[in-house]
Amino acid sequence: MIIFTQTRIRSNQIAAKILLCIVGQLFKRM
């Protein structure tokens, strides 16, 4: 159970970084 939650948090962090990169690219175009 603990390992599952850790991997879930890690994947959430990766998804957040990807979202930040996409938002950054959009702002640069504006």
Handedness of CA 16, 17, 18, 24 (dihedral sign): positive
Q: What is the dihedral of CA 22, 24, 29, 30, to 10 degrees?
A: 120
- CA 15 → CA 10, 11, 12, 19, 27, distances in Å? 9, 6, 5, 6, 18
Q: What is the pLDDT of residue 1?
A: 59
Q: pTM for this one?
A: 0.60
pLDDT tens digits, residue range 1-30?
Answer: 577 788 888 999 999 999 999 999 999 988
- Region label for 10, one of left (φ > 0), alpha (ψ between -120 and 50) or beta (otherwise): alpha
Q: What is the pLDDT of residue 7?
A: 87
